Homo-oligomer: A and B are copies of this chain.
Amino acid sequence: MKKAEDFGEWYNEIVEKANLTDKRYPVKGMNVWTPYGWKIMQAIDSHIREEFDATDHDEVCFPLLIPEDQFAKEKEHIKGFDAEVFWVTHAGLNPLDVRLLLRPTSETAMYPMFAVWIRSHADLPLKTYQIVNTFRYETKQTRAFIRVREIHFFESHTCHADFEDAERQIREDYDIMAHLSRRWCIPYKLLKRTDWDKFPGASYTVGIDTVLPSGRSLQLGSIHQYEENFSKPYDIKYEDDKGEHRYVHQTTYGMSERLVGAIVAIHGDDKGLVLPPDVATNQVVIVPVLAKGETQKVTTASRGLYEELRRAGVRVHLDERDVRPGVKYYDWELKGVPLRLELGIRDMEKGKVTFVRRDTGEKSLRDRARAVTEVQTTLALISREMLARAQAELDSNIVTVDTLEGLPEKIIRTGWCGGEKCGHEIEGRSERNILGMPVDDEKFTGSCVVCKKPTHIPVYLARAM
């Protein structure tokens, strides 16, 4: 299946052939993380942990089950989720007094505890996160990593003395996403959702959106300003330095296993996965090219190179299987290993090693003596170029228009006055959803595509994957 011909089919096939997940588990939308997919997810989790630990967030782990009465405290929130939660009603042979739900997200698990933890301004800001599985009863068609019912999930939850400090947190979250996107080579836009599309209970929501090769959008995560919307029903108060009791302001930041889906979808090609060097389980694979009579020499040299790279901190695999090199090339291309080193006797005699980049297919001869440095700089270059190409691809998938008729299968950029009536008309006529307006100062000169009122902020419309 070719990526350019049928993106959806290609995606399903690549996920299966690279053995990232197994969809044959007998509950629909609940997939098995096979070893290779799980390693990629764990690499992503470790990047997230590094960023959030470095910004003084504490990792916690809250219970999965939430009592119905706690869940029901914030009215918008329960309205947004009650059609898609799983309910535990029995334990052993007996019905439970209070029904328990499987967290679809953890506000209602965490906030009763935050109310107990926070006493004074000295307890603020409270910055926590957890990496857990969440559960949503999806009724749309499921798709590996993109739309599932058991979701591997990251969520940070913070409490602040006032709105301004919560806003500072949201800017920190933007910075964190910028760092992470460089490691994952995933470009994105930060788009403020409409009021009718924000997270249930949020004061506002910023979507972290990327674009798939199909021209559809994929939400990678979202950042929410809650103000006092949850702290009031959950009674999360602190005593300020004047002795007055005030409600905290809260924010959250969520991302999920969709990140794996985005990496597969954006970077993969007709040969298989193309993993960013920071994400790859093996950054480098060494394939000895054995010629008759020279087997021992090449084997020894390959093992020496392997050890050298390993000691330098490169995640390297030496493929000594007894199969033809071509078979190995095929396998590791499918698995997306960023850099292949071929070691043959003729190259060796010239003091050289053959480098083959997975992302471009480019072959080059490098000095064996400088192999460690060459590998490190090549991996860094691959990472930069993968992001740059993906960014160019994203940009080329955005079309600025001043009409809603005859729209291409791309992300649409146009003018919107911001009014709800015009917004609904835009969504209806374009048969797309408004993703939102960019949070940065993106230059735009135009007018609302419906009411023609001039505006200096563009709006983005898309169909979701």
Residues of chain A at the chain B interface (Cβ within 8 Å): 22, 24-27, 30-35, 38-39, 42, 58-67, 70, 82-93, 100, 102, 109, 112-113, 116, 128, 133, 135, 137, 139, 150, 152
Contacts and interface: CB of A to CB of B under 8 A. Distances in A.
Contacts of A87: 88-91
Given A60-B33, A62-B32, A90 B86 contact: yes
Nearest to A83: B92
Contact of A27 (B24, B65, B89, B139): B65
A200 to B, nearest CB: 15
Nearest to A112: B26
A89 B88 CA distance: 6
Contacts of A24: 113, 116
A308 to B, nearest CB: 21
Contacts of A102: 64, 88
Contacts of A42: 59
A71 B116 CA distance: 39
Nearest to A94: B137
A252 to B, nearest CB: 17
A63 B113 contact: no
B113 A32 contact: yes
A63 B116 contact: no
A92 B88 contact: no
Chain A interface, >50% SS class: mixed
A126 B83 CA distance: 40
A442 to B, nearest CB: 38
B113 A22 contact: yes
Contact of A60 (B35, B58, B92, B112): B35
A35 B58 contact: yes
A33 B42 CA distance: 20
Cβ-closest 6 pairs across A and B: A33-B61, A35-B58, A30-B63, A91-B137, A87-B90, A83-B92
A91 B32 CA distance: 20
Contact of A92 (B27, B31, B90, B137): B137
A27 B61 CA distance: 15
Contacts of A33: 60-62
Given A27-B65, A60-B33, A88 B86 contact: yes
Nearest to A65: B27
Contacts of A32: 60-63, 113
Contacts of A25: 62-63, 109, 112-113
Nearest to A63: B30
Nearest to A128: B35
A26 B60 contact: no
Contacts of A112: 25-26
Contacts of A89: 87-90
Contacts of A128: 35
Contacts of A58: 35
Nearest to A85: B92
A134 to B, nearest CB: 11
Contacts of A64: 30, 64, 102, 133, 135, 150
Contacts of A90: 86-87, 89
10 contacts: A25-B113, A32-B62, A38-B59, A63-B150, A82-B92, A83-B93, A84-B91, A88-B88, A88-B102, A92-B137
Given A22-B116, A24-B113, A35-B58, 11 more contacts: A26-B70, A26-B112, A31-B63, A33-B62, A34-B60, A35-B59, A63-B150, A84-B92, A88-B88, A92-B137, A92-B139
A39 B60 CA distance: 9
Nearest to A29: B63
Nearest to A109: B25
Nearest to A89: B89
A32 B137 CA distance: 25
Contacts of A39: 59
A29 to B, nearest CB: 9
A16 to B, nearest CB: 13
Contacts of A91: 84-87, 137
